[in-house]
Structure 1
Amino acid sequence: MKLLHKNVLITGASGGIGRALAIELARRGACVFLAGRDEVGLRLLLSSLNNPSRHRVLLFRDYSDSEIAMLAEELSGSQRLDILINNAGVNKFSLLESQSVEEIREQIRVNVELPILITRQLLGRFNSNGMVVNVGSVMGDIGYPGYSVYCASKFALRGFSEALGRELHGHGIKVLYTAPRSTRTSINSQAATAMNRALGNSTDTPEVVALGIVRAIEKEHLRSHFGWPERLFIKINALFPWLVDNAISRKVAMIRRYARLSVTGEAK
């Protein structure tokens, strides 16, 4: 898909991958709708984009049902949508027993329920040959200790993407699922960052991830996983999961240690 003059809505646009996506898409000539809850961050981002007057801020307070319903009213006539990027997400690096009910529900709400509801609300507002892009994670393919709820949410998002893409076959809308590996953004706790460093896990910048997502959009790749050796591990996990069980079991004591530090706030 060529991005020049395309209308693109990005959720979670004020920081991290969303911000990097907005900058890259605007640079390529797209018209970007910046959706999120951080009004100051969104306004600052808007002012920094190429041709700021071409882009818009869509402010949410809490992604309520009424706010989601209003999205369709924002996109009508010449403002119909070409690409929806469901990017907003949260995670909690912690053992399941240490996560509160509220933390569990927030991850499911933001990572699964909101992309489904927003996509449903906007399906009738796409131009022909539109595209839904769901930003998942390699943890949507590999269950990882300390991220049980986050993994569950990303597994669900991957299933939603695959099923909806097949459901919409022949209707002019493609559904892409993109899966970055660990990315250096503010949603990661200090303990998660320290664990990745201690285990030698590679991480990417938001700019690297955004570029990968944009290239997937341009090439219309339905499934994209970023990072090596993560792509290899995903294939091994699908075919021989016990091999990944054994590999992770050798690291689980350290993972548990850092997951507990995430609760106590003692990670350096």
Structure 2
Amino acid sequence: MEIDKKHVLLTGASGGIGQALALALAAKGARLTLIGRRAEPLETLCTGLSGEGHRVLTLDLNDMAARAELAQKLGEQPLDILINCAGSNQLGWLSDQTEYEIEQQLRINLLVPMLLTRQLLNRLNPKQALIVNIGSSFGAIGYPGYTAYCAAKFGLRGFSEALRRELSNTSTKVIYIAPRATDTALNSESVRAMNQILGNRMDSPETVAAVVLRSIARERTETYIGWPERLFVLINKLNSAPVTRAIRGQLEIIRRYAIEARSER
């Protein structure tokens, strides 16, 4: 899909990947509606975007009334691209997390994209539209310390696949893009230290944004970012035993940093 002159709704726009995406999309000529809970960073981002016609809507998408309000505020022009980018993760052993923390990760990473997409289906351009769900490599590889996050991203990948098939006789396409570890404020110092010791590479938000734009242009069904993560995803699908053995060797390191991450919150 061509991005120029397309109306794009972007959630999580105040986050690292969201900000990089907003800048990249605007540079390609898109007209953006930026969604987030914090007005100040959104307004600052909006004023720095290329082009005209961008706007900010400060909403808590966890709230049903706010989602209904969003549909009203969008006006008459249909959406060409919906990008579900808002997300959250916490490193921690399942037994150390509260019910609230688990529920919040499932809600932000899975339920909100599902409910928002449902809310806006009838606002998508009937001639051609694209739903873009930003997932994670942990949506295909279960990883200790991220049980709730993995569950949510596995769910988002399944939602994307099911909705893609549900809409296969329409002009709306659904794509799923899975970054690996990304250098954003979501990662605590403990997570950064753990990734460094384990040799896990972290991409910049700009790198992820560039891949997202290419995936939109090519309308690629699924995209996994990074090597060897793409290989691990494939191996895990075919035979998970080698991946399980490799991760088991990392388990005590992950556990140590999960405990540190807990103390940072």
Shorter-chain TM range is over 0.9
Unaligned runs of 5+ in 1: none
TM-superposition CA deviations, 1:215-243 (whole Å, max 9, x none): 10000001000000000000000111001
Unaligned runs of 5+ in 2: none
Alignment partner, residue 250 of structure 1: 249
Q: Distance in 2 between matches of 1:180 and 1:243?
A: 22
User: Are 1:58 and 2:57 an aligned pair?
Assistant: yes
Does the aligned pair in 1 maintain the 2:62–2:107 contact within 8 Å?
A: no
User: Are 1:36 and 2:45 an aligned pair?
Assistant: no
Q: 2:79 aligns with which of 78, 81, 104?
A: 81
Q: Distance in 2 between matches of 1:74 and 1:216?
A: 28
Pairing of 1:8-157 with structure 2 (within 5 A): 8-51=8-51, 53-61=52-60, 63-77=62-76, 79-127=77-125, 128-157=127-156
TM-superposition CA deviations, 1:33-92 (whole Å, max 9, x none): 1000110000000010012x4101011145310110122222342x21000000000001
Pairing of 1:228-243 with structure 2 (within 5 A): 228-243=227-242
Q: Distance in 2 between matches of 1:244 and 1:151?
A: 15
Does the aligned pair in 1 maintain the 2:91–2:146 contact within 8 Å?
A: yes
TM-score, structure 2 as length reference: 0.97
The percentage of aligned residue pairs carrying the same residue is: 48
TM-score, structure 1 as length reference: 0.96
Q: 1:133 to 1:62 in 2, by over 3 A?
A: closer
| Count of paired positions | 264
Alignment partner, residue 261 of structure 2: 262
Does the aligned pair in 2 maintain the 1:34–1:57 contact within 8 Å?
A: yes
Does the aligned pair in 2 maintain the 1:16–1:186 contact within 8 Å?
A: yes
Instruction: Return structure 1 stretches of 4+ with deviation > 4 angstroms.
Output: none
Alignment partner, residue 194 of structure 1: 193
Does the aligned pair in 2 maintain the 1:185–1:206 contact within 8 Å?
A: yes
Alignment partner, residue 4 of structure 1: 4
Counterpart of 1:21, as a letter, is L
SS of aligned partner of 1:257:
helix
Alignment partner, residue 157 of structure 2: 158
Alignment partner, residue 176 of structure 2: 177
